[in-house]
Structure 1
Amino acid sequence: MADVFPDSRLRELTGATVLVTGGGGLVGSRIVAQLAAHGARPIVLDRFDAYPHPVRGLFEVDRHGTQVVLGDVRERATVKWLIDRADYVIHAAAYADVAACTRRPDTAFAANVHGTQTILDELLESRVKRLVFVSSASVYGDGVAGNDAPRFTEDQPLTPISVYANTKLWGEHQVRLMLGDSRTEYSIVRYFSVYGDPQIPKPGSHSWMVPWLTLSAHSGRPMRLNGGGHQVRDLVHVEDIARATVLALVADQAASQTINIGTGIPTSVRAIAELVAAHYPGAAFIETPMPDGDPRGGYADTRKATDLLGWHPAITLSEGIDRYVAWLRATPNSVPDWFTSQTVPLAA
């Protein structure tokens, strides 16, 4: 069940139909659950191929979604049919793995560029009140040279260093270009590092360090710190991310705005590993090289999230890791077979 916070602005969503692309994933499913809790009618469009079936069942999409459609955001007829029924759209569908996008830029282009363009084309002829486009803090790249923990502000120059970040930055520009003078409003939300159960890492990925590190310690394997773990991350619990995204649908001041969704607290990857290790006495660390496209990182300037959305994160990193460890211990079958049976590069 989603963490639900009362907010009078969300009464506007009662009875409204909200299309959530990518609604079958970690963040999308939490968005769908919160929409349903506030009386909206969420429709999910998802390929359902990002996670293995046993994990996907933990997202409870069928429980919270009014309708769940197996499909691709590039399928124009499907997208048109769903947008024609929608009052609002949250576009969260994406090929969202940095390492995978680096290996397969063609797939990243198809999902993140072609898919976004299909959504925008159909929005131009729709009655949709507002689109919330899900972007990423990866568009900032490494920030200012020489600053080990930069604070990223929404209006600073953007210097993406990965294929994934490039696709997200293109999406931002295209949303502004196509919807700026249309009858459909838009808001852009830039997620910082999302974590929280039931997040499970993917083979060959170096994203999502909380599950990577926790599964490693849980399985008695060393927690690998890429580059020594000196990168900085701003970790935001998935429930807080979902709440901010839903608020961006209805907050008047969020129209035509780009908003960081982060805690404003920089934490090194090593410090994250130490929080995890506190739950597993004897947990070991090992240092490994930095993977391609892995940014030094930074943290969010959160003033716009506060001023425009009235949003503050409610779940601290320590509490969020406690939750994840408790969930992992309660659901041991969620540890994927490939993790325990293969030699895999662990992330940080």
Structure 2
Amino acid sequence: MNDSRLRELEGARVLVTGGGGLVGSRIVALLNANGAHASVLDRFDAYPHSVRGLFDVDVNAARVVFGDVREAATVRSLVQRADYVIHAAAYADVAACTRQPEVAFAANLQGTQTVLEETLGSPVKRLVFVSSASVYGNGGGDGVQEFTESQPLVPISVYANTKLWGEHQVRLMLGGSQSQQYSVVRYFSVYGDPQVPKPGSHSWMVPWLSMAAQLGMPMRLNGGGRQVRDMVHVDDIARATVLALVADGASGQTINVGSGRATSVREIAEVICRHYPDVELVNAPLPEGDPLGGYADTRRSRELLGWKPTVTLEVGIDRYVQWLKSNPDVVPDWMVPAPAPTV
């Protein structure tokens, strides 16, 4: 979808930390399509299954740097040549952050602090910090809830705690700057090809469920699939994030990036089942730190960004399943069940 406002970025230099991942690579592609020069800083280790070639980072980025956001000298050299920063780098797997909080703290706290320290006093005009709807936790109430940016935050996972700290730190360090602006975007549940699940994770239910069905395995519904998610296609997520760089009203604001629609995990599985009608649904326990969920209050994204999602869940899942059927080799080996022993 074309947006004339993004033409303001023509010729601009934009640093995208974490630009080698699913969302980051879509952001880089969108920047490139609008004439911006994107530099990527990434360790390229987020996926145990090699999908880098599917993200086209090397095609769309003006520069790709293999490095860590905790490396001050590397970050300094990049921000000194940037007009804007999108800080998307993070240890973003909820289950992995619970298992290895020290890794989450290093990447999400120390890394964010390094980016902020090096951004201060640089030529950067605005930094967009990528946060998460996980900061809402279960919202402190019962039932399906609408999450509003100004409500009290009650995170229930290590990952969510690190994102909330990042939000506070961005405000503390850039909120008083006369020359540099910031925006915080809270992503709800991102999905879309070429997303590939990670072992030991319970995030990213569209690829998890789709790949299980592709293999003829039962689709496992944690918590019986009663928890809800506000699903947003990665293409829409990327557009909202880039708009946060240029929208005047987004400066100094925290903005939900969601559809405003609550969909249960069971409903998501049922949409996938339309493509795999013979696959069984089975219930499983709810993992630790997995919120019951809610949906976004979208007033700020509409009013401040002039944004709303364009890809419906049904269309997005159809795209994902068609991509998966066309690329069966993307299913990680660890998901493939071992053959039964011969007698």
TM-score by length of 2: 0.97
Which residue is 2:212 aligned to? 216
Q: How far, CA to CA, are the matches of 1:342 and 1:161 in structure 2?
A: 35
Q: How far, CA to CA, are the matches of 1:273 and 1:122 in structure 2?
A: 44
Q: How far, CA to CA, are the matches of 1:6 and 1:233 in structure 2?
A: 27
Pick one of 147, 159, 164 that aligns with 1:164. Answer: 159
Which residue is 1:225 aligned to? 221
15-24 or 52-61, larger mean C-alpha shift: 52-61
Pick one of 165, 184, 188 that aligns with 2:180. Answer: 184
The RMSD of aligned alpha carbons is 1.0
Q: Is the 8 A contact 2:140 2:154 kept in 1?
A: no
| 1:31-42 superposed matches below 5 A | 31-42=27-38
1:290 offset after TM fit, Å? 0.6
Cα deviation per residue 1:211-270 (whole Å; 9 max; x = unaligned)? 000001110000011111000100000000000000000000000000000000000000
Q: How far, CA to CA, are the matches of 1:258 and 1:282 in structure 2?
A: 43
| 1:19-58 superposed matches below 5 A | 19-52=15-48, 54-58=50-54
Q: How far, CA to CA, are the matches of 2:108 and 2:146 in structure 1?
A: 26
Q: How far, CA to CA, are the matches of 2:206 and 2:196 in structure 1?
A: 9
Which residue is 1:175 aligned to? 170
Q: Is the 8 A contact 2:48 2:198 kept in 1?
A: no
1:6 offset after TM fit, Å? 2.0
Partner secondary structure for residue 142 of structure 1: coil
Q: How far, CA to CA, are the matches of 2:49 and 2:315 in structure 1?
A: 28
1:54 offset after TM fit, Å? 3.2
Partner secondary structure for residue 54 of structure 1: coil
Unaligned runs of 5+ in 1: 344-348
Tell me, yes or no, if structure 1 residue 73 matches structure 2 residue 73: no
Unaligned runs of 5+ in 2: none
Q: How far, CA to CA, are the matches of 2:299 and 2:132 in structure 1?
A: 17
Pick one of 252, 275, 288 that aligns with 1:292. Answer: 288
1:144 offset after TM fit, Å? 3.2
TM-score by length of 1: 0.96
Q: How far, CA to CA, are the matches of 1:243 and 1:99 in structure 2?
A: 27
Tell me, yes or no, if structure 1 residue 279 matches structure 2 residue 271: no
1:73 offset after TM fit, Å? 0.1
Q: How far, CA to CA, are the matches of 2:5 and 2:222 in structure 1?
A: 43
Which residue is 2:262 aligned to? 266
Q: How far, CA to CA, are the matches of 1:105 and 1:203 in structure 2?
A: 17
Which residue is 1:106 aligned to? 102
Q: Which amino acid aligns with 1:168?
A: K
1:7 offset after TM fit, Å? 1.9
